[in-house]
Each structure stands twice: as structure tokens, then as C-alpha cells.
Structure 1
């Protein structure tokens, strides 16, 4: 390709309508295609070119959720979305302006797993990876080495929805509760029989689905460490329904199933070793207060996308997109109220944990604040050991900013309320919780362009360790307790 007095030779990797990406001997370069003289089979013709977005990865996203979002996007913009079944092993959609109109965009979904989607992204066989878990340090390192940038950074991750895995036992199992520590020991193989944790005697058999998409792998890594190596006896099945049915009929069966598809087995309520329970309710999953919540997300490398795909990604934060997610059977990021009347377990835990550093006066202040106000499900947490919001929280900030711009919170003040774990002096934890609440407020203001719209008030407050939602005896429990909640005045 010749551009001015410069000549570039290499493999064309992608075109966004204005810029062409080329892999040269010196690496990947992006060139302005306007006025360029290009020769070879990879040279696009802007007059006939139809941009394509190749998405590869978790079938949980590519089979139903993203196709539904593409169709919803087309409806909201007045376009026609046509499903194209001509490509084997893919789900493709073509967008046009209407019946008989020319196509102007194509979405191509390759249904595999999170791991394969990241591999396709690194191999430049995909433009976007669909993931049902966060990426491992090795995956992030390989992506960076391949020139994709840091996929953990803001702008590289788009969280679409929240899902969760629920532990399910065989119908004959007497156990109804399971601690996170015991679940971790069962997954690792350290507990090989249910009787070792007080259950009905039977060898532990983990029933797994081949179309898990990476959710189990993500939870295993969270509970077992970076490698997430499962050592339990496993029984493979073709899909989630088969795994759930087999676990239900197996006296020693254990399965971790999606929240919306728990099967016929015996659901096990999770609890910490301090006795605090964590049931898989939809509000707890939306707030990521449930420890086995799993984000459904997209990973995008540092490259330009064609205008239709930029518009689609921006549309994902709208109310219309959240309605599509609800119809698709997953929990979106929209704010859902959690009235104080439904928070009895949290208040009971606060009373039980009161002591020398959390006084009766502290609890009275907390209850006084909660009275007449409503918690909203968006909850903000930070990367472990860092002052940076995690991927889900960054998406929650964008959604909250959009809701503010849309007028969803006009006339009612908002509060960002910081909480902490109970490790260390209570006064220090209170200060840290307030710092985190201030950091979230700054992030929201930045997303709004630096200032709040007229009539919108966002206050900050902190109660430190006064309202635990998990036990502090594990790193995961402490991470759940370190949070910033969103509250508003009751209607």
C-alpha cells in the first residue's frame, strides 16, 4: 500500500471505514486509508465494504444474550436484523436499513468458551472476546504480548450482565447449607465424601457441563487460587440441563448451576464459618453480595471499531438494552430497589457483630440513616489491594451516570455509602470506607463530564465495619465487606 511517499507491505487485519490495520514485519500499524493506493486481495473497497464484528467465546453470551441485544439494538434504531445461518458453527446477524436495503454491518458469533475466545482474540481471529469470567494473569500477559493492550484497563472491558452459580446436591442429600471453605475443599478434592462435612455419606462427584462457558473455571479460581485446579472426581455432561439432572439423581452428586437454571437437585445455601448465610437472591447477585456471582462481559483490544459497532456498544448502557437482558433471563446492571424491610438478615448480622469498636450508637446511626431510604443494587468494589474500581464497578459507574443524565434520579438525593471489613482499627476502617465512597463519587462526576446536572445531589457517607454481609475469616468474605453502596430517598 502506498500513502504519500510511504510504502507499506503486509497482511490486512481490519478496516473500520477510515483506517486500515496492517501487520508488517515491524508489527501492527494503523494507517489512514483515505487517498491510499492499495493493491492485493486484502484491500477493502470502501464503496462495497460491509464491516464485520467477529465475537468469539462463551456460548452463554453468544447463543442467546448477545443475539437478543443485536435484535433489540436494531429495533431501537429502526434497522432490520436478519439472522444468517449459512456459516457453519456460527450465529451471524446482518443489519440493513430495511427490507431490500443494503447490508451495512455484520455480527459473527463463534460459540466456544471463554478460554477459546481469548485465544481467538490473541490469534487475531476475533475482534471481541465473550467471557463468563474475569481473565487470568497469564491470559492478560499473553494478550499484552500480542499487542492487544491491557485487557483489564477501563475501556477494554464491557460488563453486560451478572449471573451466578448455585451449588446443588443430590435429592437424597441431607445437607442444606455449605460453607465456602467446604465448597472449596470439595472442588479441590480435599473433601472426598459428604460425611466429612456433616452430610449423608456418599463419595463427592462433581457433575460438569461441557458448555459451562468458563463460569465454573472462574469460580474455582476465586475459591482455590490463581490456578483454580479442580481435583474432585468429575463427571462430564453435554450441557447444563444434563449436568443438573445427573447431580439430582446422584446421592453423592454436586453441581454448580446457573442461577436461572438450578435443575431438580437440592440447592445449598452458602454460609461463612461465622454462620452468616448468603442465599442466591437476585438482588444479592445484582449487587455482587453473593460470593458466586459471575460477570458476563466483553473484552475489546485497543483498536478502532467501525461506527455501527461503536454505536452498538454505547447503546448497551441504555434502558432499552437492560429490558432486553431481562427478557433474555439474565440480571442486567440497572438499579433495582432493595427496601429496608427486605434487609433483616443484614441488620441482624450488624447487631450480632457489634462489640467494643462498633457501639450501639453506631448501629443507631446506621438504622437512622436507613429509615426512609432505599438501597439500590449497584454496588462498587475495588481491585484487590488497589485504589482502582474493578471491572463490574466501572460499568456500574457508566450506567449510573447514564441514569442520572436520563433523569432517573431527578428530585431525590443519592448517597454513596462506604463499608469495610473489620480487620484493623475501626477508626481506620471508617476513614478507608469514606475514601472509597469519595472515589466512586469522583468517578461518577468524571463520567458526567465533571459536574452533576441541575437538581441532582450525590452525597457521601461511611459506616465502616458496622454492616457486614460476609464473614471476615476469608479473603473473599473481606472483599465482599469492602464496598460502596448506592442509596436514595424513598418514593
Structure 2
């Protein structure tokens, strides 16, 4: 463990131990008849319920049944909730303010905005009376600091560009915040991606994963070693790029803070690294798709010849390996009603239109035609192994011809059968659309694929089981309003017959283990109606 990481961990633990004292103000809550009274440190009031840290633990009490006495008690005549977001600066400075503005317009609030370099504040007021209804503060920190603020009761919602890591989940559990691995605690509001970037004058257009790792570790220090011009590489990296939970570390598991090239310049933010590379003709950095500006984005290639470029559809399906879901993490406690309304809104189709108009990638579902996948089918034919026969390739064409692929990807955590965070969010997205009748009269084909490790027959069976598991998760997420007689689901397992990436590296195998959703018009009479049941 590096000294920097140790220091951050120590600060995190200190924050957790101080959680009950940072906002400590004594209050006493007494029942209306005076028969019951509790006292302790006031933690919050959402307009309906008090939260107090007492000798019995943290209690949540209905404000309508108690009288509050003490310096921490709110003025009920002028009360309005203050909702605090802390975390990823790029998201909290641009996307979230746009979403709050759209939310306010939709629900009839006026807005009063004030800004500082580190905070964006919006006061929502009643459009008729002009009285404040809520104050929303977006604090521009970082994902790591956002989780520290949550543990220390200094924020209500974390803005995160990655999943909570094991350490953060444990601290949250100790602090009574709840289980951050619970899907209910994390909402995916949009998507971003980490992209390798160079100066526009650099002649390269792609870089292999092997060469990428050698640049980052300093094994290669000249562009000519990766097919470029004879010039030294200037490496600019930001601190978060090798932080625990970063997609880059999952892509290149051998990469660590200690193995980074000694000549690399470490900068505090991704934007600073991008700007440094943009101003250096020999610069190399990782940026975020949402903030790359005028630099050149390199495509990623594998040793076996596959290539992937960053386009919105591939980010949505996770076919691009460095996709970054953007999360809102909430504690396992009651939030004010207006905060709950906003959290519901960010997942709505109306909110996704706002995301689509921003530099980030929205989660609205696209339908990709069979023709759009020409390169994928060409790769399937080109890289078919000895166990893949013409019949296997024809089975894919027969099963999917005339269908449209949805831009919803389903992938699994490494070494497990558990869906990753973006996939869990996609389950809910698809379930809501099915329940709304979007796919009435249509057939949803859950198509499973595997990597090429092991016998082809076993992989085909495994891919079918995974496809069935995703289908069952979607059906289980449907509300009572859904009528299973109005749509049809079909499960198919195609095994290793259509890889997206090289099987000789871990990240390629991870991309190949997936479930896709394809839509066909009409029902298939020859299929049993039992295929619509979980």
C-alpha cells in the first residue's frame, strides 16, 4: 500500500469515527402527552421526521408526534430541506445542475442559483408564493471524498464515477450508512468512458493493450516503439486513474501505482492531464469522453486483431471496455420527499434527454439493426476456433436475422455470475419499458455469449444459463401492471461463436461473456408460451 493510499484510508477511518459528532447539537424530543422523551445529538430533519443520535443508537422519529427542544431544533415556520451532493467534480459541476434545472421546470419550481469555485447551490422556490421549498448543494470534490463525506454525515448523496470499493462499503456498514452493494443504494444516471488520448498532431490512431501497458510502466518510452514517430513519450496521468475501482486497473490488472513509469507527471484531475497532453505534441494521457476537448482519441486493439472505438452505442452496451457508469449513492435512511422525487426523476426518459444533450452518454435505448453489426459478424467468421463450425455461425444468423439489438448490455463481475452495476441498472430500465408496453406484440431474444475458454459445447450451455438468468431478473423486476401475455421472451445460447475481443487477455474474455437483447416484431408460433415465464 502506498503512503498516499494509507493516508487516505486513515482520513476515511477518522471521518467514520467522527460521524456522530461533526454536526452534534443537543435536542430533546418529547411525545405530545409528555410520557416519552429521548435526547441526543440532532442529525437532521426532512420536514416530516427527525434523526437523532441517542444512547439507543440513531433514531428516526415522526415529527408530528413529538415536540423538539434544544439548540438543534429547526424553525418549523421557515423550514425547508437542504440536500447536499458531494463527489465527482465533472458531474456535479455540469450534469447535475442541468438535471436540477430540468426537474424544477417539470415540477413548477423557480430557481435561484449561486456558485463558488467549489460549490453550486440551487434554491427551489414556490412559483406562486416565492417561498423556498428546498436548497440543493453540489460540492465539487472527488468520488473518494464523496464517500468520506457520506460516512461522516457531511453529505446526503454521493456523486460517483465508479462503484464503491470494498473499503468504502465496509466503512459505510460500520457507520450505519447501509450496504452500498445493495442495488437500491446506487442509481446509474448516465455514462462516461475513460479514453486514451494524444495530441492531434500524433499520427497514431490506435494502440494495443500490450503497448498501452508498456507505455504506462515505462517499458516503452519512445513513440517509435508503438508504431509512431521517433520522439520521447510525455506521460500525463491523474491520481484517480489508478485508484481502487478504476476501470483501467480492471483492464490492466498488472498495473499498480508502484509500477507506473517513474517519468510520468501525476496531475490532480483528468482534465488537467488532458490539457497537458493537448499542449504537448508528444503527450499521452487518459481523459474522460465527456471532457476530452480537441485531442485525438485512440482506438484500442488486441493482439489478435480486434479493434474497439469509443462510440455512444458501445458505451451503452459496455462493448467499450473502459465504460464508466455515473452513480448516485444514497444512505439507508429517509431522505426529504423532494430529494426522493429528484432521484426518481434522474432515471426517467425526460432526464435522459437532458443527459443526451450534455457531454455525457445517456441511457436511452437505441435499436441497432442487423446491418449495423457487419464488422462483428466478420470478426466472428475470421476468428472462429476449431470447435466453431459453419452450423454455429449460421445458427446466430438464423436466430437474430431481422431483429434489432437493444443498446442494453448485460455483463458479469469478474469470476462470478453476478451482474455488474451497469447491468443491474439495465435490468430496471428494461423492466420499466416492458411494463409500459413498449414491447407489446414483440419478441425479446435474450442471447447469451461466452469466452472461448473450455469446450465449445459447455460454453454454449453456460451462455444459455446466463441468458436465462438475465431474462428471469427482468421478469422478476416487472410490476403487477405487466401482462406476460402481451410479449414473448426467448432464451438462446450461442457460446463462443461471436467474440467481441481477444480471448488471450482477461479484458477480452470479460467482454465476450455477455447477454444481448434483440427485438423481433411479432410472436414465434413454434415456441412454447412457457418461454415468457420466469
1:487 pairs with one of 518, 521, 526: 518
**Structure 1 unaligned blocks of 5 or more:** none
Counterpart CA distance in 1 for 2:243 and 2:431 is: 29
Partner of 2:503: 472
Question: Could you say what secondary structure the match of 2:65 adopts?
Answer: coil
| Residue 308 of structure 2: aligned partner | 278
Q: 1:438 to 1:430 in 2, by over 3 A?
A: same
Task: Within 5 Å, give how 1:282-301 maps onto structure 2.
Answer: 282-301=312-331
Change (3 A) 1:405 1:77: farther
Label 1:189 to 1:15 Cα distance change in 2 as closer, same or farther (>3 A). farther
For the pair 1:177 / 2:206, whether they are aligned, the reply is yes
Report the Cα distance in structure 1 between the residues aligned to 2:278 and 2:372, rounded to whole angstroms: 31
Question: 1:9 aligns to what SS in structure 2?
Answer: strand
Q: Which has the higher contact order (CA 8 A, sep 6+)?
A: 1
Query: 2-side partners of 1:217 and 1:200: how far apart?
Result: 34
2:438 is equivalent to residue 408 of structure 1: yes
2:343 aligns with 313
Partner residue of 1:161?
Answer: 190
Q: Is the 8 A contact 1:317 1:398 kept in 2?
A: no
Aligned to 1:218: 246
* Deviation by residue 1:102-157 (Cα, 9 ceiling, x = unmatched): 22222110011111111111111001110112222222222222221221221011
Give the Cα separation in 2 of the matches to 1:355 and 1:221. 29
Q: Structure 1 stretch 408-417 or stretch 192-201: which is displaced more?
A: 192-201
Q: Give the stretch that moved more between structures: 463-472 or 13-22.
A: 13-22
- 3-state SS of the aligned residue for 2:473? helix
Partner of 1:373: 403
Contact 1:184 1:223 (8 Å CA) reproduced = no
In 2, Cα distance between equivalents of 1:451 and 1:96: 35
C-alpha distance in structure 1 between counterparts of 2:160 and 2:338, whole Å: 22
Cα shift readout 1:222-269 (whole Å, capped 9, x = no counterpart): 234498527233335687666435324434310212224444444321
Give the SS at the match of 1:155: helix
Contiguous gaps of at least 5 residues in structure 2: 1-27, 523-534
Q: Compared with structure 1, are the counterparts of its residues 484 and 63 closer, same or farther at alpha carbon in structure 2 (3 Å cutoff)?
A: same
Distance in 2 (alpha carbons) for counterparts of 1:81 and 1:313: 18
The structure-2 alpha-carbon separation of the partners of 1:328 and 1:128, relative to structure 1 and needing over 3 Å to count, comes to same
SS at match of 1:286: helix
Residue number in structure 2 paired with 1:141: 170
Q: In 1, Cα distance between the equivalents of 2:343 and 2:36? A: 34
Alignment of 1:238-277 (within 5 A): 243-277=273-307
Question: CA shift at 1:190, angstroms?
Answer: 4.0
Helix, strand or coil at the partner of 1:254: strand
Name the CA distance, whole Å, in 2 between partners of 1:347 and 1:43: 65
Q: Distance in 1 between matches of 2:173 and 2:230?
A: 48
Structure 1 pair 28/182, CA: closer, same or farther in 2 (3 Å)? farther
Distance in 2 of aligned mates of 1:137 and 1:181: 28
1:427 paired with 2:457, answer yes
The alpha-carbon distance between structure 1 residues 41 and 224, as it changes in their structure 2 partners (threshold 3 A), is: farther
Cα root mean square deviation, aligned = 2.7
Equivalence for 1:114: 143
Which deviations, in whole Å up to 9, do the C-alpha atoms of 1:318-370 show, x marking residues without a partner? 21011111112221111112122221221111112223322110100101222
Q: Shift in Å at residue 213 of structure 1? A: 9.5
CA separation of 1:168/1:317 partners in 2, compared to 1, >3 Å: closer, same or farther? same
Q: How many residues align?
A: 489
Quote the Cα distance in structure 2 between the aligned partners of 1:198 and 1:422. Answer: 30
Cα distance 1:99–1:379, how it changes in 2: closer, same or farther (>3 A)?
same
Using the alignment, how far apart are the partners of 1:371 and 1:450 within structure 2? 32
Secondary structure at 2:440 match in 1: coil
From 414, 418, 421, the counterpart of 1:391:
421
Query: Equivalent residue of 2:509, what SS?
Result: helix
How far 1:406 sits from its partner (Å)? Answer: 2.9
Q: Which residue is equivalent to 2:530? A: none
Cα distance in 1 between the residues matched to 2:152 and 2:255 = 23
Superposed, 1:321-332 pairs within 5 Å as 321-332=351-362
In structure 2, relative to structure 1, the CA distance for the partners of 1:217 and 1:425 (3 Å cut) is closer
Asked if the contact 1:422/1:465 (under 8 Å) is kept, the reply is: yes
CA distance in 1 between counterparts of 2:217 and 2:152 reads 32
Stretch deviating more after TM superposition (43-52 or 268-277): 43-52
- The TM-score, its normalising length taken from structure 1, stands at 0.91
Distance (whole Å) between structure 1 residues aligned to residue 361 and residue 424 of structure 2: 17
8 Å CA contact retained: 2:242, 2:249: no
* Contact map agreement 1:208 1:234 (CA 8 A) in 2: yes
